[in-house]
Amino acid sequence: MVAVISADLLSSSSYSEKLLEKVISDLNREFDSLEKLSEKDSGFKIFRGDSFQGIVYNPSKALRVALQLKTAINRIHLHENDTNRAFKIEADIRIAIGIGSYDFKRDSIMESNGQAFQFSGRTLDDMKKENRKLQLKTPVENINNEFNSSLFLLDTLSDKWSTASAEVIYYLLNGFKETDIASELGISQSAVNQRKKAAGWDAIDSLLHRYESLINEQFSNGK
């Protein structure tokens, strides 16, 4: 069992050339980082200029990866000379996670197929009609039902983020402590803590632990 992440940029036709260049550059940097953490080729690549897909071989880590990619994009702003960082989100992505079998393997992920690919691709197509930003599809309906609700709530929460909120969540997802983030951003630890609370980190962290526990329990040992 693997997780396949399929995603596309939201309203990319309205992005300025500078914003689109920044988004693509930052996504490719994230893909390179993910590649270094995996013994297998995750195959994350951008196609059609505004879509991407890749494999997470440990399905329990797929939600964290999805949120890392989302916050990497949500934190982008073009106010280079303004240290405030708390701007309205300028770029966002729609993400579908499909967990299932990996039946047809090719050198290129775009030529591969299987249950996980089908779940991910079809879910992403359905999301375009429902105005959702993050969804999960697995072979187990109880899991689908639980995370359909919790990820809908996460959509609502993340829609209220500023670029500063997303930036703090990005670093927390990557294992940074508050003091590390403060040093990285050149702000106080108390400011980091305020942004962390405003972004709803405790709820997000709880959701990640629930997801990891349930997916490990259900899909361990290739089940």
Domain borders along the chain are: 2-222
Dihedral, CA atoms, 78, 171, 159, 199, nearest 10 degrees?
A: -120
Q: What's the pLDDT score for residue 209? A: 97
Q: Which CATH class is domain 2-222?
A: alpha beta
What pLDDT digit, counting tens, does each position of 186-204 carry? 999 999 999 999 999 999 9
What pLDDT digit, counting tens, does each position of 97-115 carry? 999 987 655 555 555 568 8
Whether the model pTM is above 0.85: yes
CA distance between the termini of the chain:
7
Smallest Cα–Cα separation from 62: which of 212, 218, 217, 220?
212
Residue 171 has pLDDT above 50, yes or no: yes
- Band the pLDDT of 82: cuts 50, 70, 90: low
Q: What's the pLDDT score for residue 122? A: 94
How far is 219 from 196, CA to CA, in rounded Å?
31
- The DSSP line for 102-114 is --B--SSGGG-BS
Determine the length of the chain. Answer: 223
- Using alpha carbons only, give the angle 18, 7, 118 rounded to the nearest 5 degrees: 155
Q: Are 60 and 211 in contact (CB under 8 A)?
A: yes
What pLDDT digit, counting tens, does each position of 29-70 carry? 999 999 887 777 788 999 988 999 999 999 999 999 999 999
What is the token pair recorded at 131?
């105005």
